[in-house]
Structure 1
Amino acid sequence: MDHSEYAGHLPTTEAAVTALHAIAAEYGRAIEVTHDIGTDRTSRRSAAGFGVTADPDGSLPHEAYAEFGGVPRVRVRLYPEDDALITVEGVEFHDIPRDDVPAFLRSVLGGLAHVRARRFPPTASLVVPLPGDRTYREHLSANLLTPWLSGRIR
């Protein structure tokens, strides 16, 4: 199944949500999506006045939250500012560009993501490789090693 149309630029939150649905179908995962539309509803617009729903240019900011079923537990919050917060088994990856979200999810759901651990000093990181030799890496604390993360230690 070719989903290359979801590998490039995702100009809107709605386009990104469409890509998330396609990726969920590709990996046989259930997905639940909720939408927050308007400056009074989006998480990064708390400074907007009471009852204000639009940006100064008249547009409505659109934020979406998606939760994928199954293991690993994956959650995605798409922000109106063209970035995302992706949480994998409790590990948060902040400020992921919206255009990287499909490749990031394919890496996690396709089994490429792994935990890099060192004995001394004792550290561990969740590593998510993307095409083009790009990598996202987040430090893990010892109490975050879920069975899925433990099974991916290298």
Structure 2
Amino acid sequence: MDQSDRSDRLPTTEAAVTALHAIAAECGREIEVTHDIGADQTSRRSAAGFGVTADPDGSLPHEAYAEFGGVPRVSVRLYPDDDAVITVEGVAFHDLPRDDVPAFLRAVFGGLAHVRARRFPPTASLVVPLPGDRTYKEHLSASFLTPWLSGRIR
């Protein structure tokens, strides 16, 4: 499916934050969100001069950080560049397209995320399947397994 045909587009950070609140309500989770607005406040604009809030094109970059209550521990950092970092039980998934964030969270909260482990060589990965045969996978140390991760080993 072409990205431009997707009905779940999240064109702004604010739209993504609204989607996060909806997912928290669906899953019965508390959510706490903080916002950083302006080039002098966002983490990827550290080269902005003192007091410079707008990008060269005149726009105000908007970044948000959300933490979900409950287990698994999940946090989301939404960047103004249409990408995100989602951390699940200490395992960070970097450079996720912002449009994939809702499906990713529904997979985690819905019990689809699992740990794929091998005995030899000893390796483990947190696997998060999304609709459309898309999968995100991050390597993790077997000694790093939290109780939630240990309960999802396949």
- TM-score, with structure 2 as normaliser: 0.95
Q: Say whether the 8 Å CA contact 1:126–1:138 is kept in structure 2.
A: yes
Q: State the Cα RMSD in Å.
A: 1.1
What are the within-5 Å matches in structure 2 for residues 1-154 of structure 1?
A: 8-154=8-154
- Give the Cα separation in 2 of the matches to 1:142 and 1:55: 43
Matched to 1:27, the amino acid is: C
- Give the Cα separation in 1 of the matches to 2:30 and 2:97: 23
- TM-score, with structure 1 as normaliser: 0.95
Per-residue CA distance 1:69-97 (angstroms, 9 max, x = gap): 00000000000000000000000000000
Secondary structure at the aligned position of 1:44 is classed as: helix
Secondary structure at the aligned position of 1:20 is classed as: helix
- Give the Cα separation in 2 of the matches to 1:8 and 1:75: 20
Matched to 2:106, the amino acid is: R
Q: Which runs of 4+ in 1 moved over 6 A?
A: none
% identical aligned pairs: 89
Structure 1 unaligned regions, length at least 5: 1-6
- Give the Cα separation in 1 of the matches to 2:147 and 2:17: 28
Task: State the shift of 1:142 in Å.
Answer: 2.4
Matched to 1:123, the amino acid is: T
- Give the Cα separation in 2 of the matches to 1:72 and 1:138: 16
Q: Report how many residues are paired.
A: 149
Task: State the shift of 1:31 in Å.
Answer: 0.1
Per-residue CA distance 1:108-148 (angstroms, 9 max, x = gap): 00000000000000000000000000000000112320000
Secondary structure at the aligned position of 2:128 is classed as: strand
Q: Say whether the 8 Å CA contact 1:91–1:144 is kept in structure 2.
A: no
